[in-house]
Amino acid sequence: RGEPLDIGSMMAGASGGPGAGSLRLDGRGAGAEATGLHGQGVLRLQAGELPAIPLLKAIDRILGRTRLVGARYAATEAPFRVEGGRVLLDDLRLRTEQVGMDVAGWASLQGPLELTLAIHTPREGLTVEGVAAGVLDLMTDDQGQVVLPLRVTGTQEEPRVRPDGAALAGQARRSGA
């Protein structure tokens, strides 16, 4: 249990930024290896500023603009589990004034990660490599917002962020394309 928890020092490449938080983990396991740890917990973040970590920089690149790095975010909390050497997130929601991000998936304690993201962002000025403008237009709601599904693989230091083709196709079908 850590309270307050210095989230910034835990994030690779972060300088300043995130607000304080608290972490509660109830776990059990045997041995020194991370794979022996199993548990569940809640991460609570106070409002702060999103740091220039590799994942957020990669998301900004795919959006073709800076909307996340340096943005102030609202306080949030997210339950998580630790199983088999991985931290599993089911529903982390970060909200800034202009962009929202829903995160689910896992990050290995050894470095690799696999996440699905839903980025809630204004359609205006949005261009995404590999996604036709017409598809983005179909996905735009009455308030001019798009929910862009992304997949993240790689590692925390070198994340690979790409549009989630299957989710995009499903959204386009539901939108009448």
Tokens matching residue 16: 């300043």
Mean pLDDT of 49-72: 90
3-state secondary structure of 80: strand
Average pLDDT, integer, range 135-143: 89
| Alpha carbon 51 to chain centroid, angstroms | 13
**Residue 36 in tokens:** 């022996």
| pLDDT in the model for residue 16 | 47
Residue 106 φ then ψ, to 5°: -140, 155
Higher pLDDT, 60 or 39: 60
Q: If you average pLDDT over residues 16-29, what whole number do you get?
A: 57
For the four alpha carbons of 116, 120, 121 and 122, in that order, the dihedral sign comes to positive
User: Is residue 89 predicted with pLDDT exceeding 80?
Assistant: yes
In the predicted model, what is the mean pLDDT of the chain?
82
CB atoms within 10 A of CB 161: 22
What pLDDT, on a 0 to 100 scale, did the predictor assign at position 130?
Answer: 85
Query: Which has the higher per-residue pLDDT, 5 or 76?
Result: 76
Res. 129 pLDDT band, cuts 50 70 90: confident
* Reported pTM: 0.81
